[in-house]
Amino acid sequence: MAKLNDIAAIPIHPMALPKAEHAYQAPAILQQLLAMLGRLIEHDEPDSIDLRALPLTEADMQSLRELLGEGEVSGVVTTYGPSQVFETGYSGVWWVTHMNDDEEVIGEFIEVTYCPEILVSPQDDVREAREALRARLLQNQLDY
């Protein structure tokens, strides 16, 4: 028992997060985004970067967020858990964070596009909406 108590007395010093100057990879991603914006403008080709497929440190992520900033548009899509979407300070560069119902991040992307697909109304949904609205109006005619 005495030994166990000794263990509790061992001081624990949490290490500081890697410093911002250790964010080596953010500039490389900015270069990639520049090329992707070029393809969007010239060839109308949207593209995206899977941030979780890259070995980014917390410092990289933080620096990337700061470098890109926040633009005019932000929102939450609530389906299959929340998804946070915002346009960065650079128009056409969007930051999309998908979470599950427990709000754990299950995917994080930077999308280079005029509008992220998750924000656009799905065509089949729009067709169904028209039918639903028609049915509603028909019902109202019968009611009155």
Partner 1 sequence: MSEPDKSLFDLLAQRGVSRRGFLKFCATTASMLGLPPSMSSAVAEALTQAARRPSVIWLSFQECTGCTESLTRAYSPTIESLIFDAISLDYHHTLQAASGDAAEEARAQAMKANYGSYLLLVDGSIPLGEGGAYSTIAGHTNLSMLKEVAEGAAAVVSIGTCAAFGGLPMANPNPTGAVSVKDIVQDKPVMNVPGCPPIPNVIVGVVAHFLTFGALPELDALGRPKVFYGDTIHDRCYRRPFYDRGLFAKTFDDEGARNGWCLYELGCKGPTTYNACATLKWNGGTSFPIQSGHGCLGCSEPKFWDGGGFYTALSTPIQPVTGAAVTAALAGAAVGAAVAFGNQSTKGKAKAAHTKVTIDDLEKA
Smallest distance from the beta carbon of 53 to partner 1, in angstroms? 6
Which of 2, 17 has the CB closer to partner 1? 17
Tell me how many degrees the CA angle 69-111-79 measures, rounded to the nearest 5: 100
Which of 22, 136 has the CB closer to partner 1? 22
Which amino acid is it at 33?
L
Scanning 1-144, the segments in alpha helix (DSSP H) are 2-9, 26-43, 58-68, 123-143
Smallest distance from the beta carbon of 64 to partner 1, in angstroms? 13
- # of chain residues touching partner 1 (CB under 8 A): 34
Q: Is 40 in the site for partner 1 (CB under 8 A)?
A: no
45-74 binders of partner 1 (CB under 8 A): 47-50, 52-57, 60
Contact with partner 1 (CB under 8 A): which of 30, 37, 67, 118? Answer: 118
Contact with partner 1 (CB under 8 A): which of 9, 15, 44, 72? Answer: 15
Query: How is 98-113 classified by DSSP, letter by letter?
Result: EE-TT--EEEEEEEES
With H, G, I as helix, E, B as strand and everything else as coil, classify residue 60.
helix
CA distances (Å), origin 63, targets 21, 34, 49, 144: 9, 17, 16, 61
Which amino acid is it at 112?
V
Residues that bind partner 1 (CB under 8 A): 15, 18, 22, 24-25, 47-50, 52-57, 60, 77, 79-81, 83, 98, 100, 104-107, 109, 111, 117-118, 122, 124-125
